[in-house]
Amino acid sequence: MEKAVEQAVGRVIEAMRDNLGEPLTIDDMARTAMFSKFHFSRIFQRVTGVSPGRFLSAMRLHEAKRLLVSTSLSVTDISHRVGYNSVGTFSSRFRNSVGVPPSTYRQLGGFTHRGLADQRRRPPRQSSAVVSGRVDAAVADGHGLIFVGLFAEPVPQGQPVRSTVLHRPGEYTLEDVPPGTWYLLAHSLAANVEDAVRGAFDDTRTLCVGHMGPIQVRPDTATVTADLSLRPIEALDPSVVNALLGIQAVALTVGAA
């Protein structure tokens, strides 16, 4: 039964990918999965970790990022291609997720220039914790740098609350983590900026990821241990690269230090 459920969810994800510019309702997705609407929403969240709507939104934003850095299409044309009838709504959601408007993201070449470097200069909070652990990988070589970050949501949009970069699989430490509910993501990065940009949007290149959550950090929490294993990204994973391209320039700078 579990295999049949995963196949049903996989059919829906493929339909999302093929119809990003079209309006897709929960009813449409449930028919594709051949489940009732209410049962479908539950199984989709159980398999992927996020709701169908959030998954589709992440895919649309990822495609919008790809089009912004790889084509000369106008922002209006891109918004329509990824399913938004209003360019204003698209721009607002893009900015809320990424941190900059679509036009600025294009001007910056896909890098938002925030994140890791700024976090290292933040003063400690009165109530904070340390999240640490180990990132393992089935294959030790070929990962380049490894980004590790904490996000506020299962789909890692926007900037991480805390993050670091490893030169290879091994121990990591995230200090000064504020109280809250966080989701941990590890992601392999290419070893240079050009490959990072190309690899983030090229489905033919193998991306390795690991994620865990929710992780609860309470005001009285001192330390949290969370280990991750890197594995090739799969179709059932949310578009985890949404959050990554915007911080890769900083990540690569920190990693080279």
Q: How confident is the model at residue 238 (pLDDT cuts 50, 70, 90)?
A: low
Task: Determine contact, residues 241/202, Cβ cutoff 8 Å.
Answer: no
Q: Which residues contact 218 (CB under 8 A, 6 or more apart)?
A: 179
Q: Which residues contact 53 (CB under 8 A, 6 or more apart)?
A: 26
| DSSP per-residue string spanning the chain | -HHHHHHHHHHHHHHHHHTTTS---HHHHHHHHTS-HHHHHHHHHHHHSS-HHHHHHHHHHHHHHHHHHH----HHHHHHHTT-S-HHHHHHHHHHHHSS-HHHHHHTTT----SHHHHTTPPPPSS-EEEEEEEEESSSSS-BEEEEEEESSSS--S--SEEEEESSSEEEEEEEEPSEEEEEEEEEE-SSHHHHHHHHH-TTSPPEEEEEEEEEE-TT--EEE--EEEEE--TTS--GGGGTHHHHHHHHHHHH-
Beta-bridge partner residues of 136? 229
pLDDT tens digits for range 120-178: 445 555 668 999 999 998 665 555 678 899 988 887 766 788 988 888 889 999 999 99
181 or 143, which is more confident: 181
Q: What would the two tokens of residue 255 be? A: 């990693």
Compute φ and ψ for 188, nearest 5 degrees.
Answer: -75, 140
pLDDT tens digits for range 59-87: 898 899 889 989 999 999 999 999 999 99
d(CA 233, CA 214): 20
Average pLDDT, the chain: 80
Q: Which range, 113-117, 128-132, 240-244, 247-251, has the best average confidence (pLDDT)?
A: 128-132
235 or 45, which is more confident: 45
Q: Cα–Cα–Cα angle for 51, 52, 56, nearest 5°? A: 120
Task: Please say if the pLDDT value at position 249 is more than 80.
Answer: no
The model carries a pTM of 0.69
